[in-house]
Amino acid sequence: MEITTMKYAAIMLAAGFGVPILAALNAALGVRLGNPAAAATCLFTVALLSALTVLLISGPGAIMAASSAPKHLFAAGLLIAFYVLTITWIAPKFGVGNAVFFVLLGQLISAAAIDHFGLAGALPQPLTLTRAAGIALMAAGVFVTQQV
């Protein structure tokens, strides 16, 4: 594996570690505030301030191009809001592990479809039997984790 690939893999692994931590922290905040939407609003406020800081450091002029971007690309904001609101609401009732396992399964399935069809400019990668078997194995793992 080349150095760039390893570096990208390490960064994404760190991001992956953050997902259940985000879910647990925001779910706890939602319980404490008594409202998952309030917790999500706090999360998005901190995220906005963080992103603005990085934008200001990396070159604020890039944001000017947003007005000319295709409008469907902004649906990503709706998807992240859906994720944060649902994980904040459901994790305290369903368990962080259970919630994240199903999120992961959904990510694997949708990522395979995005890659297979090259959607949203993704590098096309056919859904091979091996990749399909991996997704099926993950689904089986989710099923096993749900057994008491």
Mean residue pLDDT of the chain comes to 93
Evaluate if residue 115 carries a pLDDT over 80. yes
Overall pTM surpassing 0.75 (yes/no): yes
**Angle ∠(123,127,130) on CA atoms, nearest 5:** 125
Of 31, 13, 34, residue with least CA distance to 23: 31
pLDDT tens digit sequence for 55-102: 999 999 999 999 999 999 999 999 999 999 999 999 999 999 889 888
Q: Which residues contact 117 (CB under 8 A, 6 or more apart)?
A: 124
Alpha helix stretches (DSSP H) within 34-66: 36-58
The span from the CA of 51 to the CA of 53, in Å, is 5
| Residue ranges per structural domain of the chain | 1-94, 95-148
Average pLDDT, stretch 115-126? 94
Q: Which residues contact 131 (CB under 8 A, 6 or more apart)?
A: 112, 125
Q: Which residues contact 42 (CB under 8 A, 6 or more apart)?
A: 29, 33
Are 126 and 116 within 8 A, CB to CB?
A: yes
Of 133, 130, 29, 127, residue with least CA distance to 84: 29
Q: Which residues contact 102 (CB under 8 A, 6 or more apart)?
A: 142
> Residue holding tokens 């603005």?
52
**Residue 95 has which token pair?**
């368990």
| 132: confidence class by pLDDT, cuts 50, 70, 90 | very high
Evaluate if residue 148 carries a pLDDT over 80. no
